[in-house]
Every structure is written in structure tokens, then in C-alpha cells.
């Protein structure tokens, strides 16, 4: 292993095209003259399980596995996967996250454990790490182009900005590996993703439309009966009943947007709004 | 002109209902009303209607109310014990202002009583059976032809006044077969439908005639229906002024329009010295008795209300000024007689002929009675 | 996602239910299910009986019918038969649905009319002040069982399974996400669907049985499923068993699902009578 060896982690859930994307990355790297090693884990696709692929490239690569805190780029096809794998990115590296959320059955349907542990989208997580973050909506972009299955090519377009090889290698790899007849749409998807990378590049903070800052907790005190359920279920202790028996927000910055308080408020008195929800509306 | 046909009373009821536009029937078997259900299940599928046999009479009227709220013209039919069970939802239909028709083929009571014997024992239950203050519209046909005619009228009145309407007749009328000519052309009334902006819709709006326009569920108007005292939005209230105004309106929308509702047949009353007050099947015997009395020189007359509620007090008061004596003949131990006494205000002597033994009142019976009363009248 | 308040009669809020009563959570989960399914708001009819749970219908911005005690399934039957295109949902309680209205409920299930019944079980009569219900566990205190209830209680889901309901499920009011999912399944199920929602009554059941307030009761629900735990472990969900035996498990989730002919009344094409 030499210092020139770089790593990429692709992570998503079954059915998103993670494995194909990994093959395209590897093919593009070979076309660019690199030695590459690739490893992947899959097999839980039917259950929405996690699927990931590690790729390492450079003049001479020995091991296929990307060590922690070393990856140049993490391409997360799904929000929770971004959180799962973000530790693998080196300081100053890049995280490309599709804002899609796919809640695996185990997280919301496990009736024995009342699991609602799906994390809220919280870009703060990456801000702290000095990462170059690109938040994209690949599914919508691909849908607009005519085929949601090209979402992985959108993600690759954004990823390409951080891999240091010429776009022509990427496009050649895509043309050779995607299913016959979908070459054009996948190339268009790739270019759309590439534009996202550039458009978001100047941003000092990861703030694409609608996703910046903590969630906002709104309490409608005229409906609230101060029953204390919300404060008892909040995992982040954002809410509390004060000495006068009235509900208040004690830590507004800690809200991760899990919405437990909102869903368990019998009086419809709590609303959780995503960060900069207004921006979403105006841009929507 | 239609042909004469042989029709049974309960069948005439079903024919009348369908002619009036009834397209929903929910009921539960009970003697002697079951024949109505057995006819409705034959007629409705061909008339774009639906028939359902429910688990009891409470459910039957609930289903009828549900169907009416969905825009159907709906009815049920029952007899004494089942009528008792329906009282809960008669009150609901009054309060929520749901048009529907309830037919009660009366049999001997109380309780299970005499299932196959005629009776007129439910007259007060038809008026006051459900709890709370309310007005009532109750029709009492006395023949097969009239069952047809008044069933149609019951639907029309229900639609006009947005309220439940009850038809009462006894086991004899229900099971009698008569040759009748059913009319070709009928006047049909439909409920006034809501129009305009759904956001502005007030299901219990106060309108000049006291009857708010009605929307059906599924028509694009979203509103609340409740048996609790409620405001113009139909939403529960405990405001005494709002609740009081609602109760007053529910009364006045019927009571202020008695002239549209009350229907009394009088026969040979103008010069009469004495009159028989009788309704339903007894009215038919009474008519024959009056004719026979006249033939024997007694100036008898007949007052036969075809609508028993609202009570035709003005007709009674006018008759009381004319005659010396009013004989009230009814197949119970005294129900409408109290109303007659109240309406007569002492202007005529009131004599009751009351029996509740399951036996009909024959013309001969009533003629003997008239003869006795006439003898008493001439012997002050 | 639509703002859930789109389906709420905001002008009627706040609702009448007590602080900590989980019934409001159930309404919210139902509205979320309506939103997920993108049901046409004008074509949803909510039919209720009498009691705390039945009051929910008044706050939902659909066609809402607040009927009489226990009779909601019968009202709903007439409504559905007359307007089959409506999505008809009954909201009822354990007293409303299992005591005074038990007959209507089992017959609606037997007929397999295409409606959904949500029965909110709080183990007590709340609206009338905490009297024992057919679901009050043996031993539990109510205003009419001051020394502890001696009667056996109904298992609502077992009852409905026995009555032939083609969809039977039980969910916990503390689990809004599963509740919404099961409600959506029930609404789309072809035929009669029944959901027992295990809810709470902090004001009466909680106070009489020292089970805590709404927060405590709700949280205790989450820790109990197959294994009954929490402050009510010895008292709650004891169905049809002598009190000396350990409490049986309380299964949640979809317990019965089958497809059989839907009842649509006797209407045109159904009879060969002329």
C-alpha cells in the first residue's frame, strides 16, 4: 500500500444498484490506468438490507478493504447508510448522500421492540467532521430524466468530482456496463449528478435547499394539555415540563427530527419541521 | 287508468314505498310485519335499491339512518316489540333530522303480547316512545289502498320536513287482501339538497321554513352528524341558547305546518248529533255503523283522522261544537281519547269504547253503541 | 407529505379528551394512514358510537357520524350499502363495541361488509366516570368494582376472529408507526377489518389502579407485548383465565387475514326474482 492509494465506499440498500455502481467505478479506474481492488457485500436485497462496495485504486493496490478514516469519498445511496459509513471517510474527504430514506422493516415494523430508531436527516453530523458534503436527490433527478433506476448514475456523477480521473473514463464505463438501451439516460443522469457536485461546491456548509440546521419544534400551547408524554419519549431530552407544570423546549438544538413527540402527542400540539422547511416550500 | 288488482296490506306498503322512490330497506323479522320485508326484497333489486336483513330492530333503523344520510330514501317495518327497540333511533333521526319511514304493524301488547292479534296499542308510543321533547308525524291508514297512499305520503313528508315519519296500522289491515286500483301518477317530494360552497355549508342552518337543505355523505360536503344538542355546524354544544333554539326549531318546523300535514276524513258530520272518532281499521267499521245508524234515523257522523299525530285538534273542536256526544272507539284501553277530551274542551260529551283483547270492533258492535248513546242523549 | 392538520377540524380543537389520554394519538395515526393512502377526503366516512373514543370522529374533517351507544357498525352498514364508494371507518370503544354494541360488531364481522372498525380499548368506561367494562381485567379497580373486578373479560381480537372477521389486528397506542401501517392495511383490506388499539385511561383506570398518568401508562405499554410487564402486569390483559394463572401473552400485529366474499346487500343482479 502506498500513499497514492485512494479508497471509495459505496453504501446503500438492496435494489438501489450499489453493486453495478461499484463495477462502473472499478471499470472507470482501470480505463484511467489505475490498479484497482474491489470488494462487496450483498445478499439481503429482498429485505431492504444493507449493501456496500469498497473500491481502492492507485499505482499498486494490495488490499480491497478501505480502512476507517481513509476513504476519499463515501457515496451513500440512502441517509441511514451515510451515518453508518461516515467514519470511513478521511478528514477533508467527501460524502455524497442521496437524501432518500428507506426505512428497513426491522426499524419500524418490529412489533416486539417498538423500534422507531430511524435517524432524522441531520447535516450537522458531517459539518463537525470537516467533510465536503453533497446532498442530492438522485431518485427525483433520475425520475425526471425518465427512469428512477438511473439514480445510481446520478450519484456516480457527483462522486466523479472527487475521484480525480477524467469524465470520459466514467462515461465509457457507464456505456459499457449499464443495460442495453439505457446508455443515454444513464449518461444524462451522470452529467446531472456531476452538475450537482459543481453547483454545491462553493458552499461552505452543506446546505442544499431545505436541509440546514437542526429541526424546529413548534408547540401549540393552546392545544397542549401538558400531559408530559412528549418529554418522556424524547430521546434527546429536548422537551420538559417546568415547575409550573407547563411544557417547554429546553434544548432546541438537540432535535434530530425523529418525530416521536409529534406522533405521540394526543393533542396534535407539536409540529416538527425540517431545517429551513420554508426554503423547501419556496423552491419546491 | 290502471287495472284493479288484488293486494294484501303489507304488500301495498311495499308497493307504495317503491313508488315513492324508496331504495333502501333494513329490517328484522317480526309478526305481523314480516310480509313487508318479504315484498321489499323482491322489489328493491329491480328498482336500483338495496335490501338488508339486520341483526335486530335497533340495527335496522340504524342502517336506515345510515343509508338516508348517504342520500337514499330508506325505510324499515316492524311490530310492537320491535317498535319498542326502535325508539332509540327514532329520537336520533328526529335530532339529527334524518328523513326515513318506519312502519309499525300493531299487534297486541304489552311485551310479546298477542303476536297475531290486531291492536291499536302503540298510539302513544308512536307519539312519545322516544325520550325527550319532539314532534311526531304519524299516519294511520285503514284500508289496503290507503296503506299504499299513506306510505307514499310518509316518504313525502319525511323528505319535506327532514324527519322520521311513522305509519301505524294493525294486523287486520296488514293481512287483508283487497281489490284496489293503485294510482298511476303520484306526487313525489324529494329533500332539498345543499348547494353552493362546501366550506360555507351549515348542515343545521336556520332557514325560513325551518328545514335546512341537506347534503349526502360523499357529495363533496364534509360535515358532522350527532344526536347531541348541536349548533348550525352540526357540532355538539352545551350552550343553552343554541340547544334551546334547536329544540324549538325541531318542534316548529312540524307544528307550524300542521295545515300541510293534518288529514282528517269526516263523514256526515255537518248535521250530526253524535260522532264516532275512530282511526285505522276501526274507522272502517265505524263508517258502516254510521251509515246503518243514519238508515235507522240516528244523525250520526264520523271523524276519522288519517294523520293521528300531529293531533287534529281543530277538527275535533269544530265537531264538538256541532255534536252533543263524541264516541271514541279504539282497540286499546284509552290512548287517543285523552287527546279528544282535551281538544273538545267540554263542548261535547266524550264516551269511550275501548277494548284490548285482540278482537276487532265490528260494525254491529259500534251500531249498538251508537244506538245506546242516542237513547241516553234523548233521555237527559 | 400533507400537513396532517388538513384532515383535522382545527376550529373544533382542542378536543375534549383528558390530558394523557392516548386516544388522540390513535386519531393522528389514522389520519396519517389516510394521508399515506391518499384517500379522497370527501369520500371518507367516520362513524362513531358513544364514549370517549367515539368523540374522535367530531375532530376528523371527513363525513362524520356520531351515532348512538354501540350502534356504529349498524349505521356504518347502511351507509356503506347505500354508498359503496365511501371508505367507511368505525371508531368505537371497549364498552361501546363489546358491551352494548357487541351484537352489531359481531354481525358486521360475520357479514364481511367492507368497513373498518377501530376499537380503542382503555379497559374502562371513561366518559361516564370509570365504571367497569367488559375488558376490565380481573382484579382491577373501577368505580363499580371497588374491591377489584371479579368478572372475566373479553379478548376483543379472539371474539372477532370467532365471529369470522376477515382481518383482525391488535396494535398499541404507544406505537404510532405500526398503528398507521396496520390501519392502512385494514382500510385497503377487501372486506370487514377489525383493529383493537390498546389505549389508556389515565384519568380513571390509571388513577384507580395506581398505574400512573398518561406518560407512565403509555411508556409501560411499549415495554409489554408478548410478555406482560410494567405496573399493570398482574392486572391487565387477563382474559378468560383464572387469576391464579400467569397472564397470557398479548399478541399484536395482524392476527387474521383472509379473503372471502364481501357482503353488499341484496341488490340488482343478486336475485332471480322478477
Instruction: Using the predicted structure, report yes or no on whether residue A201 has a pLDDT greater than 80.
Output: no
Contact C78 B224 (CB under 8 A): no
Contact B62 C71 (CB under 8 A): yes
Contact C218 A264 (CB under 8 A): yes
Pick the CATH number of B265-378 from 3.30.360.10, 3.90.1150.10, 3.40.640.10, 3.40.50.920: 3.40.50.920
Between C268 and B130, the more confident residue is B130
* Chain C residues touching residue B59 (CB < 8 angstroms): 71, 73-74, 77, 103-104, 107
**Can you give the pLDDT at residue A128?**
58
Same domain for A64 and A165?
yes
A63/A60 Cα distance (integer angstroms): 10
Dihedrals φ, ψ of A162, to 5°? Answer: -110, 10
Nearest to A111 among C4, C213, C225 (CB): C225
Task: Note down pLDDT in tens along chain C; length 274 residues.
Answer: 578 999 999 999 999 999 999 999 999 999 999 999 999 999 999 999 999 999 999 999 999 999 999 999 999 999 999 999 999 999 999 999 999 999 999 999 999 999 999 999 999 999 999 999 999 988 899 999 999 999 998 999 999 999 999 999 999 898 898 899 999 999 999 999 999 999 999 999 999 988 888 888 887 776 543 333 333 333 333 332 333 333 445 688 899 999 999 999 999 865 444 3
Contact C18 A225 (CB under 8 A): yes
Nearest Cα to Cα of residue B26 among B38, B37, B18, B12? B37
| The last residue of a domain, from among A137, A172, A200 | A200
> Smallest CA–CA separation between C182 and chain B, in Å?
25
How many CA atoms, within 13 angstroms, populate the side-chain half-sphere of residue B248? Answer: 8
Q: Which of A113, A116, A220, A229 is the best mutation test for C, with the most CBs of C within 10 A?
A: A229
Chains A and B touch (3+ CB pairs under 8 A): no
* Domain boundaries defined on chain B: 4-181, 265-378
B179 φψ region: left (φ > 0), alpha (ψ -120 to 50), beta (else): beta
A264/C174 Cα distance (integer angstroms): 7
Same domain for A157 and A263?
no
Residue whose C-alpha cell reads 349498524 in the numeric block:
C74
- pLDDT-based confidence at residue A155 (cuts at 50, 70, 90): very high
User: What is B4-181's CATH superfamily?
Assistant: Thiamin diphosphate (ThDP)-binding fold, Pyr/PP domains (3.40.50.970)
* pLDDT tens readout for residues A110-133: 434 444 556 666 666 665 566 787
Instruction: Using the predicted structure, report yes or no on whether residue B348 has a pLDDT greater than 50.
Output: yes
Contacting A with CB below 8 Å, chain C residues are 4-5, 8, 13-15, 17-25, 28-29, 32, 172, 174-178, 181, 213-216, 218-219, 222, 225-226, 252-253
CA angle A249, A250, A255 (to 5 degrees): 75
CB neighbour burial string for A47-75, b if at least 16 within 10 angstroms, e if fewer = ebbbbbbbbbbbeebeeeebeeebbbbbb
Between A138 and C249, the more confident residue is A138
Q: What are the Cα distances from residue B267, in Å, to B280, B291, B352, B354, C21?
A: 15, 9, 19, 21, 66
**Can you give the pLDDT at residue C175?**
87
Q: Which of A101, A224, A227 is the best mutation test for C, with the most CBs of C within 10 A?
A: A227
A130/A89 Cα distance (integer angstroms): 10
Nearest to C77 among B23, B52, B224 (CB): B52
> Smallest CA–CA separation between A219 and chain C, in Å?
13
Contact C58 B74 (CB under 8 A): no
- pLDDT-based confidence at residue A284 (cuts at 50, 70, 90): very low
Same domain for A67 and A147?
yes
- Let me know: does B140 contact B265? Beta carbons within 8 Å: no
Contact B217 C86 (CB under 8 A): yes
Mean pLDDT over the full length of chain A: 80
Between A81 and B223, the more confident residue is B223
* Chain A residues touching residue C19 (CB < 8 angstroms): 225-227
* pLDDT tens readout for residues B249-290: 999 999 999 999 999 999 999 999 999 999 999 999 999 999
Same domain for A13 and A119?
yes
C9/B62 Cα distance (integer angstroms): 26
Is A279 a member of any domain? yes
| Closest chain A CA to residue C12 | A223
| Closest chain B CA to residue C86 | B218
- pLDDT-based confidence at residue A108 (cuts at 50, 70, 90): very low
**Can you give the pLDDT at residue A147?**
87
| Closest chain C CA to residue A226 | C19
**Can you give the pLDDT at residue A143?**
85
The mean pLDDT of B172-190, rounded to a whole number, is 93
* pLDDT tens readout for residues B199-212: 999 999 988 888 99
Contact B67 C81 (CB under 8 A): yes
Dihedrals φ, ψ of A37, to 5°? Answer: -135, 140
- CATH, residue A148: 3.40.920.10
Same domain for A220 and A184?
no
Same domain for A225 and A188?
no
Q: What are the Cα distances from residue B180, in Å, to A62, B170, C174?
A: 105, 19, 66
**Can you give the pLDDT at residue A215?**
85
E strand map for chain C: 44-48, 63-66, 87-93, 116-121, 167-172, 193-198, 253-257, 266-267
Residue whose C-alpha cell reads 453495478 in the numeric block:
A20
| Closest chain C CA to residue B89 | C68
**Can you give the pLDDT at residue B1?**
57
Relative orientation angle of helices B80-96 and B57-69, to the nearest 10 degrees:
30
B376/B325 Cα distance (integer angstroms): 10
Residue B81 corresponds to which cell in the numbers above? Answer: 316489540
| The last residue of a domain, from among A166, A200, A234 | A200
| The last residue of a domain, from among A170, A200, A230 | A200
Same domain for A269 and A132?
no
A262/B274 Cα distance (integer angstroms): 78
Same domain for A162 and A238?
no
* Chain A residues touching residue C22 (CB < 8 angstroms): 266
Number of domains, chain A: 2
Same domain for A172 and A248?
no
Full residue range of the structural domain in which residue C246 is found: 4-257
* Chain C residues touching residue A267 (CB < 8 angstroms): 13-15, 24
The mean pLDDT of B40-44, rounded to a whole number, is 97
Percent with pLDDT over 70 in chain B:
99
* Chain C residues touching residue B63 (CB < 8 angstroms): 74-75, 77-78, 81
- Let me know: does C45 contact C62? Beta carbons within 8 Å: yes
For chain B, say whether C77 makes contact (Cβ under 8 Å): yes
Same domain for A168 and A224?
no
For chain B, say whether C42 makes contact (Cβ under 8 Å): yes
The mean pLDDT of B59-82, rounded to a whole number, is 98
Q: Are strands B325-330 and B274-277 parallel, antiparallel or unpaired?
A: parallel
Same domain for A136 and A180?
yes
Instruction: Using the predicted structure, report yes or no on whether residue A281 has a pLDDT greater than 70.
Output: no
* pLDDT tens readout for residues A62-87: 888 898 888 989 998 887 788 888 88
Count helices and strands in chain C by DSSP H and E runs: 8, 8
Q: Which of B21, B49, B56, B70 is the best mutation test for C, with the most CBs of C within 10 A?
A: B70
- CATH, residue A273: 3.30.70.20
Model pTM? 0.77
Nearest to B56 among C47, C78, C103 (CB): C103
**Can you give the pLDDT at residue A129?**
63
Number of domains, chain C: 1
Full residue range of the structural domain in which residue A235 is found: 216-283
- CATH, residue C151: 3.40.50.970
Is A209 a member of any domain? no
Is A263 a member of any domain? yes
ipTM exceeding 0.85, yes/no: yes
Is A205 a member of any domain? no
* pLDDT tens readout for residues A223-257: 999 999 998 888 788 999 998 889 999 988 888 88
Whether residue B110 is preceded by a cis peptide bond, meaning omega within 30 degrees of 0, is yes
* Chain C residues touching residue B231 (CB < 8 angstroms): none
How many CA atoms, within 13 angstroms, populate the side-chain half-sphere of residue C138? Answer: 16
Amino acid at each position: 500500500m502506498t500513499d497514492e492509494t485512494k479508497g471509495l465506499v459505496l453504501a446503500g440498500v438492496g435494489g438501489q444498484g450499489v453493486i453495478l455502481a461499484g463495477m462502473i467505478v472499478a471499470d472507470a479506474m482501470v480505463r484511467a490506468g489505475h490498479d484497482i481492488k474491489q470488494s462487496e457485500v450483498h445478499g439481503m436485497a429482498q429485505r431492504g438490507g444493507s449493501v456496500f462496495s469498497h473500491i481502492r485504486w492507485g499505482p499498486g493496490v494490495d488490499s480491497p478493504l478501505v480502512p476507517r478514516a481513509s476513504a476519499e469519498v463515501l457515496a451513500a445511496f440512502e441517509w441511514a447508510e451515510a451515518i453508518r459509513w461516515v467514519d470511513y471517510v478521511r478528514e477533508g474527504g467527501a460524502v455524497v448522500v442521496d437524501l432518500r430514506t428507506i426505512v428497513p422493516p426491522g426499524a419500524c415494523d418490529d412489533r416486539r421492540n417498538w423500534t422507531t430508531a430511524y435517524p432524522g436527516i441531520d447535516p450537522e453530523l458531517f459539518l463537525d467532521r470537516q467533510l465536503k458534503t453533497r446532498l442530492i436527490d438522485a431518485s427525483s433527478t433520475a425520475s425526471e430524466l425518465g427512469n428512477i433506476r438511473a439514480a445510481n448514475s446520478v450519484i456516480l456523477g457527483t462522486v466523479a468530482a472527487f475521484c480525480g480521473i477524467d469524465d470520459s473514463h466514467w462515461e465509457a464505463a457507464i456505456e459499457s456496463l449499464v443495460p442495453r438501451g439505457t446508455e443515454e439516460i444513464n449518461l444524462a443522469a451522470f452529467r446531472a449528478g456531476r452538475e450537482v457536485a459543481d453547483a454545491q461546491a462553493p458552499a461552505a456548509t452543506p446546505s442544499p435547499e431545505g436541509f440546514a440546521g437542526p429541526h424546529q419544534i413548534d408547540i401549540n400551547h393552546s392545544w397542549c394539555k401538558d400531559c408530559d408524554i412528549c418529554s418522556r419519549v424524547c430521546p434527546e431530552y429536548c422537551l420538559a415540563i417546568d415547575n409550573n407544570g407547563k411544557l417547554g423546549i429546553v434544548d432546541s438544538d438537540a432535535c434530530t427530527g425523529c418525530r416521536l413527540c409529534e406522533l405521540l402527542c394526543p393533542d396534535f400540539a407539536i409540529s416538527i419541521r425540517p431545517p429551513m422547511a420554508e426554503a423547501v416550500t419556496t423552491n419546491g | 287508468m290502471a287495472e284493479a288488482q288484488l293486494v294484501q296490506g303489507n304488500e301495498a306498503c311495499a308497493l307504495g314505498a317503491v313508488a315513492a322512490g324508496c331504495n333502501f330497506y333494513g329490517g328484522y323479522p317480526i309478526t305481523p310485519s314480516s310480509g313487508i320485508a318479504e315484498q321489499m326484497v323482491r322489489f328493491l333489486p329491480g328498482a336500483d335499491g338495496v335490501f338488508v336483513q339486520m341483526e335486530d330492530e335497533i340495527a335496522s333503523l340504524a342502517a336506515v339512518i345510515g343509508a338516508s344520510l348517504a342520500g337514499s330514501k330508506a325505510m324499515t317495518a316492524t311490530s310492537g316489540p320491535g317498535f319498542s327497540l326502535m325508539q332509540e333511533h327514532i329520537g336520533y333521526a328526529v335530532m339529527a333530522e334524518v328523513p326515513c319511514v318506519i312502519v309499525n304493524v300493531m299487534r297486541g301488547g304489552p311485551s310479546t303480547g298477542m303476536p297475531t292479534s290486531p291492536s291499536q296499542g302503540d298510539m302513544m308510543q308512536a307519539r312519545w316512545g322516544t325520550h325527550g321533547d319532539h314532534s311526531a308525524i304519524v299516519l294511520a291508514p285503514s284500508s289496503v289502498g290507503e296503506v299504499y297512499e299513506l306510505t307514499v305520503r310518509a316518504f313525502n313528508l319525511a323528505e319535506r320536513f327532514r324527519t322520521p315519519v311513522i305509519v301505524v296500522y294493525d294486523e287486520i289491515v296488514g293481512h287483508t287482501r283487497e281489490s284496489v286500483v293503485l294510482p298511476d301518477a303520484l306526487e313525489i317530494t324529494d329533500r332539498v339538497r345543499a348547494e353552493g360552497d362546501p366550506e360555507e355549508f351549515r348542515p343545521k342552518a336556520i332557514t325560513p321554513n325551518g328545514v335546512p337543505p341537506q347534503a349526502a355523505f360523499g357529495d363533496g360536503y364534509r360535515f358532522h352528524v350527532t344526536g347531541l344538542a348541536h349548533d348550525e355546524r352540526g357540532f355538539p354544544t352545551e350552550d343553552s341558547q343554541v340547544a334551546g333554539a334547536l329544540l324549538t326549531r325541531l318542534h316548529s318546523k312540524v307544528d307550524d305546518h300542521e295545515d300541510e300535514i293534518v288529514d282528517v276524513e269526516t263523514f256526515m258530520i255537518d248535521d250530526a248529533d253524535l260522532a264516532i272518532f275512530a282511526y285505522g281499521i276501526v274507522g272502517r267499521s265505524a263508517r258502516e255503523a254510521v251509515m246503518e245508524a243514519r238508515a235507522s234515523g240516528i244523525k250520526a257522523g264520523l271523524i276519522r283522522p288519517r294523520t293521528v299525530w300531529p293531533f287534529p285538534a281543530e277538527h275535533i273542536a269544530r265537531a264538538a261544537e256541532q255534536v252533543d256526544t263524541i264516541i271514541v272507539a279504539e282497540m286499546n284501553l284509552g290512548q287517543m281519547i285523552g287527546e279528544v277530551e282535551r281538544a273538545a274542551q267540554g263542548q261535547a260529551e266524550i264516551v269511550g269504547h275501548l277494548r284490548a283483547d285482540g278482537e276487532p270492533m265490528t260494525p254491529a258492535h259500534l251500531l249498538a253503541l251508537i244506538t245506546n248513546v242516542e237513547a241516553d242523549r234523548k233521555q237527559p | 407529505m400533507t400537513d396532517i392538520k388538513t384532515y383535522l377540524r382545527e376550529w373544533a380543537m382542542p378536543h375534549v379528551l383528558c390530558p394523557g389520554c392516548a386516544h388522540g394519538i390513535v386519531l393522528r395515526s389514522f389520519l396519517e394512514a389516510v394521508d399515506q393512502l391518499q384517500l379522497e377526503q370527501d369520500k371518507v366516512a367516520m362513524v362513531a358510537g358513544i364514549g370517549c373514543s367515539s368523540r374522535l370522529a367530531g375532530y376528523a374533517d371527513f363525513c362524520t357520524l356520531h351515532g348512538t351507544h354501540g350502534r356504529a357498525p349498524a349505521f356504518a352498514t347502511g351507509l356503506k350499502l347505500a354508498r359503496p364508494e365511501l371508505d367507511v371507518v368505525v371508531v368505537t370503544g371497549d364498552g361501546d363495541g363489546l358491551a352494548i354494541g357487541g351484537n352489531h360488531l359481531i354481525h358486521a364481522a360475520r357479514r364481511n361488509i367492507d368497513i373498518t372498525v377501530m376499537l380503542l380499548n382503555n379497559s374502562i368506561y371513561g366518559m361516564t366516570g370509570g365504571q367497569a367494562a367488559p375488558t376490565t381485567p380481573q382484579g382491577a379497580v373501577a368505580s363499580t368494582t371497588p374491591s377489584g373486578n371479579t368478572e372475566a373479560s373479553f379478548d376483543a381480537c379472539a371474539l372477532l376472529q370467532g365471529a369470522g372477521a376477515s382481518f383482525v389486528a391488535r396494535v398499541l397506542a404507544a406505537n404510532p408507526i405500526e398503528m398507521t401501517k396496520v390501519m392502512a392495511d385494514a382500510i385497503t383490506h377487501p372486506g370487514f377489518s377489525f383493529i383493537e388499539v390498546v389505549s389508556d385511561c389515565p384519568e380513571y383506570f390509571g388513577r384507580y389502579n395506581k398505574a400512573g398518568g398518561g406518560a407512565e401508562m403509555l411508556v409501560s405499554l411499549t415495554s409489554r407485548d408478548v410478555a406482560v410487564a410494567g405496573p399493570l402486569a398482574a392486572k391487565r390483559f387477563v382474559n378468560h383465565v383464572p387469576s391464579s394463572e400467569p397472564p397470557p401473552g398479548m399478541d399484536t400485529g395482524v392476527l387474521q387475514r383472509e379473503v372471502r366474499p364481501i357482503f353488499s346487500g341484496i341488490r340488482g343482479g343478486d336475485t332471480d326474482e322478477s
